Structure 1
Amino acid sequence: MSSVTTEFADGVAVFTIDRPDARNAVNQEVATELAAAVDELERRDDISIAILTGAGGTFCAGMDLKAFTRGELPFVPGRGFGGLTESPPTKPLIAAVEGWALAGGCELALSADLIVAAEDAKFGLPEVKRGLVAAAGGLLRLPKILPYQLASEIALTGEPVTAPRLHQFGVVNTITASGGALDGARELAARIAANGPLAVKATKQVLGMAVRYTDPDLFTAQSVPLDPVFASADAQEGALAFAEKRAPNWTGR
């Protein structure tokens, strides 16, 4: 059974992470299948925009930490976490968020061009609570779209922030009733898909260039301070503590 389901119709693609029992946590299979879905999106001239969502009332809980402790990484070389955070599609992407968008799940949402979220949805970068770092673009993108102090609070405390608060700052485009995020995203996507596909694609490219929203040089540069963290004993301890439902014992090594 596929971990990512796809739908292509009326100029719009819908990608659904389908691991509800794991809160749609991303493992290697999800990353590979999302990358393949993006490749199909890029090939198809009849599709000009995509929606990314999660099954079962949760967008994505981030990296599958149990898989991480087994040495499995949810990345695709050159594409990043989930197969798209470092190299999102050249066509616009909308994140339709229900429930939680945490850690890498939040970073998947931030890699989208637009976000539609249910009123009770929550976003967060809790990596620091696990001895890890938000390395999939969250630390690069948040300061571009939020005041620096608020971005720092979210990233350094690891505490969640609600969709309505992010809507106040323009991070979330549209707030819907609970359960209505995908329908809201479809409505927004239809408005964009009605426009000239070449113009839409070029417009996204220039917008991203203007703010360096997807800059491979930045992803390369951040590896200098971040790689030692992922190789540390604390990183393994944080993931194990989460899996074992206990408080971590940090050593600073």
Structure 2
Amino acid sequence: MSEALVVTQHDDVLVIAINRPEARNALDAVVAHGVAEAVDELDSSDELRVGVLTGAGGTFSSGMDLKAFVRGETPLIEGRGLCGITVTPPRKPLIAAVEGFALAGGLELVLACDIVVAARSAMFGVPEVKRALIAGGGGALLLPKRIPAAFALEMLLTGDPVTAEKAAAFGLVNRVVEDGAALDEALVLARTIALNGSLAVAVTKQIARATVDWSWQQGWTEQEQLILPVITSQDATEGATAFAEKRPPRWTGR
């Protein structure tokens, strides 16, 4: 794995840290492929349950590396989007731990995550219009699905960043913590999620993510098909048995 990305395992949680603080963790091709490889590892591992995406040096990410772009590099991965996660997010939960700035492509990575923990001084923004560009990596498309449309349009059309507190009021951020504590709080959340049945967690995420695109009747139909393998799984039997026997469950993901 490149030094531009540091991937560490904390028990059953995989922490993916963009490690280009000298460039405000700007996204180039090396970072993009590293993130994609890490989330592939997360999804393919029987041991790993949850991922945390963060940035080193007090910044989440300032977005695409424009110098790399001029050299012909792009952080887009064909068919998978920015860093391989905006079009095809991982099947397992991914938590963003945000310190400092999450701007442009950095915010689009946040939108690919399921839960967001932010430091109090963190700032979130989509400044593309200030450069006569469009937030085409998912910002314009996904932000109005994540927060109320009026707030999304204000962010997208002004290009001005918002504070963590304001992002939390919009519903973009789940928890606001003191500066320097975002990763620790994200790990607390990750470990809480990791205690649950992994198959049930993955399918619950799939349903919750897809429901915004389903009609009322389609949602019930699709959900029934997705739930059936879960309720007939070994883990479902184990969960009920563990509850009856008053012991911690032993999940297998099957």
TM-score by length of 1: 0.82
CA-CA distance at 1:202 after TM superposition: 0.7
- 2:64·2:104 contact (CA, 8 Å) conserved in 1? yes
Aligned ranges 1:1-253 → 2 under 5 Å: 1-212=2-213
Aligned to 2:9, what secondary structure does the other structure show? strand
Q: What amino acid sits opposite 1:29 in the alignment?
A: V
Aligned to 1:7, what secondary structure does the other structure show? strand
Matching residue of 1:234: none
CA-CA distance at 1:169 after TM superposition: 2.2
Aligned to 1:134, what secondary structure does the other structure show? coil
Q: Which has the larger radius of gyration?
A: 2
Which 5+ residue runs of structure 2 have no aligned equivalent? 215-254
- 2:60·2:102 contact (CA, 8 Å) conserved in 1? yes
Q: CA RMSD in A?
A: 1.2
Matching residue of 1:245: none
Taking only the aligned residue pairs, the percentage that are identical comes to: 54
* More RCO (CA 8 Å, sep 6+): 1
Find the aligned partners of 1:212 and 1:117 in 2 and give their Cα distance. Answer: 28
Find the aligned partners of 2:197 and 2:152 in 1 and give their Cα distance. Answer: 35
Q: Deviations over 1:86-121 (max 9, x none)?
A: 111010100000000000000000110000000110
Q: What amino acid sits opposite 2:89 in the alignment?
A: P
Misfit runs of 4+, over 2 Å: none
CA-CA distance at 1:131 after TM superposition: 2.0
Aligned to 1:123, what secondary structure does the other structure show? strand
Once structures 1 and 2 are overlaid, which stretch shifts more, 3-12 or 193-202?
3-12
TM-score by length of 2: 0.81
Aligned to 2:86, what secondary structure does the other structure show? coil
CA-CA distance at 1:123 after TM superposition: 0.3
Find the aligned partners of 2:159 and 2:213 in 1 and give their Cα distance. Answer: 25
Matching residue of 2:251: none
- 1:48·1:201 contact (CA, 8 Å) conserved in 2? no
CA-CA distance at 1:70 after TM superposition: 2.0
CA-CA distance at 1:139 after TM superposition: 1.2
Find the aligned partners of 2:160 and 2:171 in 1 and give their Cα distance. Answer: 19
- 1:9·1:47 contact (CA, 8 Å) conserved in 2? no
Q: What amino acid sits opposite 1:24 in the alignment?
A: N
CA-CA distance at 1:61 after TM superposition: 0.4
Q: What amino acid sits opposite 1:59 in the alignment?
A: F
Aligned to 1:51, what secondary structure does the other structure show? strand
- 1:52·1:93 contact (CA, 8 Å) conserved in 2? yes
CA-CA distance at 1:140 after TM superposition: 1.6
* Aligned residue pair count: 213
Find the aligned partners of 1:47 and 1:149 in 2 and give their Cα distance. Answer: 38
Change (3 A) 1:30 1:157: same
CA-CA distance at 1:9 after TM superposition: 2.8
